[in-house]
Amino acid sequence: RKEVEQDPGPFNVPEGATVAFNCTYSNSASQSFFWYRQDCRKEPKLLMSVYSSGNEDGRFTAQLNRASQYISLLIRDSKLSDSATYLCVVNMRGGGADGLTFGKGTHLIIQP
């Protein structure tokens, strides 16, 4: 099993729709989780951290399911500008900034 696994997509979604994707991780001791966004030929940028109780930032909601070892990202009322690759990042060593492992990313295309 890969350490951090994502569906590469692409997810083609009409503007205004809600879209969600998951990321599974293999190390049950992992404690830090993040979603990063990467635009084409640009560097990754932090979108949001993922907290145990789940968290929301505007149209974006992140959730953690420790029992099933996955995190999710939900985007409501999607905008054209949401088109990007979304990278799941897990701290495989459990706490701290060391050992951050990136998934391959999920490619999202918002269509007008």
Partner 1 sequence: DTGVSQDPRHKITKRGQNVTFRCDPISEHNRLYWYRQTLGQGPEFLTYFQNEAQLEKSRLLSDRFSAERPKGSFSTLEIQRTEQGDSAMYLCASSPPDSSTGSPLHFGNGTRLTVT
Binding residues vs partner 1 (CB under 8 A): 4, 8, 31-32, 34, 42-46, 49, 51, 87, 91, 95-105
The nearer residue to partner 1, 45 or 59, going by C-beta atoms, is 45
What residues have CB less than 8 Å from 42, skipping those under 6 apart?
A: none
Burial grade of 86 (CB within 10 A; 0-12, 13-18, 19 or more): buried
Shortest Cβ 20–partner 1 spacing (Å): 19
The nearer residue to partner 1, 1 or 112, going by C-beta atoms, is 1
Shortest Cβ 103–partner 1 spacing (Å): 5
The nearer residue to partner 1, 18 or 65, going by C-beta atoms, is 65
- Comparing CA positions, the residue from 74, 36, 33, 37 lying closest to residue 52 is 33
Question: What is the spatial distance between Cα 42 and Cα 3, in angstroms, rounded to a whole number?
Answer: 24
